[in-house]
């Protein structure tokens, strides 16, 4: 990833004082042209990087420039390490390992000079299942190499399909991993939940040229553009912790007798229906009527299925 490589280049220049473009290109496995673009990016960010020509030439930082406590104190370095280590659970990267090693060394050097490093108390666990990690690795490789993937996917309604996609980003949100990709089946961008991707293989197709500014986080529009409805439900007190995971406190109020009233605006879809049906204790949906009807029909179908199974087992 470019951000990791920029930090690693800066760390190398801080430690080695000078490095040639050819050395950096070989170290990171990229072209010399890419290194020049990276150095331009560092300079554009305000870091005093300059190049010298000749036999002993190379890139270096202005003499006296260091990442002192005025720029990064030990607590900030510790937080950076926490974020980088969480990514190690998802992505195997020699560059990432190198950056972590350099920041860890920075902490040790600080300790040698009597600067105490605070004990880390923040941990980020992004570790997916082994199957999801294999899919994430395939998606990450596809993004890096510019390949087209053929995936087997099940949507929220359980409909299975085989699609050819061009992944552009990996996103962790709503407590799950997703990929933002151009879907050739639908002819548009889609946000695919990685736990629903059962297979991902490289196809022989070439990518189409798609220009997207990922810094705008375009995947958030998929959620924002869905129609929202007012949802009101009454749940038992036992469901409080589950409700608190997904609703802010202002959406939950306590009624006389201890039951909870939830009022919020959400898209009425399969996820919301499944979440409400998973709540412990009894739940009464006040509105919208469409969701109340859907949950009622789902419950009746489950009862009929289980009653039929019971009769079959005990004729």
**Residue numbers of the domain that contains 76:** 2-112
Whether 277 has a pLDDT exceeding 70, the answer reads yes
Q: How much is the pTM?
A: 0.57
Confidence bin at 305 (pLDDT 50/70/90): confident
Q: What is the CATH number of the domain that holds 178?
A: 2.30.30
Asked whether residue 94 falls in the same domain as residue 34, the answer is: yes
pLDDT category of residue 312 using cuts at 50, 70 and 90 = low
- pLDDT for position 194: 92
Q: Give domain status of residue 201, yes or no.
A: yes
224 lies in a domain? Answer: no
Residue 164 confidence (pLDDT) above 80: yes
**What pLDDT does residue 45 have?**
64
- Kindly state whether residues 149 and 89 are assigned to the same domain: no
Dist. CA 189–CA 107, nearest whole Å: 43
Report which of 195, 184, 129 is spatially closest to residue 156, judged by C-alpha positions: 195
pLDDT over 80 (residue 221) = no
Mean pLDDT of 85-98: 68
Asked whether residue 6 falls in the same domain as residue 103, the answer is yes
CA distances from 205 to 167, 184, 198, 201 (A): 13, 11, 20, 12
Residue 65 pLDDT exceeds 60: no
Q: 35: domain CATH number?
A: 1.10.10.10
Average pLDDT of the residues in 69-89: 61
CB contact at 8 A, 163 and 207: no
Domain count, the chain: 3
Q: How many helices (H) and strands (E) does the chain have?
A: 10, 12
Report if residue 122 sits inside a domain: no
Say what the pLDDT of residue 249 is: 87
Q: Report long-range pairs for 90-95 (Cβ below 8 Å, ≥24 apart).
A: 90/126, 90/127, 90/128, 90/133, 90/136, 90/170, 90/177, 91/136, 91/137, 91/140, 92/137, 93/1, 93/4, 95/1, 95/4, 95/5, 95/8, 95/28
Same domain? For 48 and 98 the reply is yes
pLDDT of residue 115: 57
Q: Specify if 120 maps to a domain.
A: no
Give the end of a domain, one of 219, 242, 271.
Answer: 219
Per-chain mean pLDDT for the chain: 80
Average of per-residue pLDDT across 7-23: 79
157, 187, 219 - which closes a domain: 219
> Does residue 124 lie within any of the structural domains?
no
Q: Is residue 88 part of a domain?
A: yes
- Count of CB atoms within 10 A of residue 145's CB? 9
The percentage of residues in the chain with a pLDDT greater than 90, rounded to a whole number, is 27
pLDDT at 2 over 80: no
Question: How many CB atoms within 10 Å of residue 174?
Answer: 11
| Residue 278 near residue 233 (C-beta atoms within 8 A) | no
Does residue 196 sit in the same domain as residue 249? no
Tell me what pLDDT residue 260 has: 96
Question: Distance (Å, rounded) from C-alpha 32 to C-alpha 129?
Answer: 37
Contact 179, 171 (CB under 8 A): yes
Question: Do 205 and 156 belong to one domain?
Answer: yes
pLDDT on residue 110: 59
In a domain, 272, yes or no: yes
The predicted structure's pLDDT at residue 299:
86
Query: Residue 254 is part of a domain; what is its CATH number?
Result: 3.30.70
81-90, 197-206, 210-219: which has the highest mean pLDDT?
197-206
């Amino acid at each position: 990833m470019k951000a990791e490589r920029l930090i690693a280049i800066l760390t190398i220049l801080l430690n080695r004082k000078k490095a040639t473009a050819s050395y950096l290109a070989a170290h990171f496995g990229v072209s010399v042209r890419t290194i020049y673009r990276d150095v331009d990016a560092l300079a554009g960010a305000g870091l005093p990087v300059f190049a010298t020509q000749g036999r002993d030439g190379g890139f270096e930082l202005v003499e006296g420039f260091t990442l002192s406590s005025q720029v990064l104190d030990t607590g900030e370095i510790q937080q950076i390490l926490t974020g980088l280590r969480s990514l190690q659970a998802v992505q195997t990267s020699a560059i990432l390992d190198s950056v972590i090693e350099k920041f860890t060394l920075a902490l040790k050097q600080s300790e040698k000079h009597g600067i105490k490093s605070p004990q880390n108390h923040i941990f980020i666990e992004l570790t997916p299942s082994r199957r999801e990690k294999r899919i994430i690795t395939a998606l990450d490789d596809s993004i890096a190499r510019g390949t087209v993937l053929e995936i087997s996917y099940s949507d929220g309604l359980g409909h299975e399909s085989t699609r050819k996609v061009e992944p552009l980003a990996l996103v962790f949100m709503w407590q799950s991993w997703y990929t933002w990709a151009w879907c050739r089946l639908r002819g548009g961008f889609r946000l695919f939940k990685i736990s629903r991707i059962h297979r991902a293989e490289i196809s022989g197709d070439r990518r189409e040229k798609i220009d997207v500014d990922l810094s705008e986080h375009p995947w958030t529009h998929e959620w924002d553009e869905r129609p929202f409805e007012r949802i009101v439900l009454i749940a038992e007190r036992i469901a409080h912790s589950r409700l608190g995971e997904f609703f802010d406190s202002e959406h939950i109020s306590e009624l006389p007798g201890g039951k909870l009233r939830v009022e919020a605006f959400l898209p009425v879809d399969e996820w919301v229906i499944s979440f409400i049906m998973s709540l412990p204790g009894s739940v009464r949906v006040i509105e919208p009527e469409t969701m109340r009807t859907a949950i009622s029909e789902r419950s009746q179908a489950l009862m009929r299925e289980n009653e039929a199974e019971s009769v079959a087992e005990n004729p």
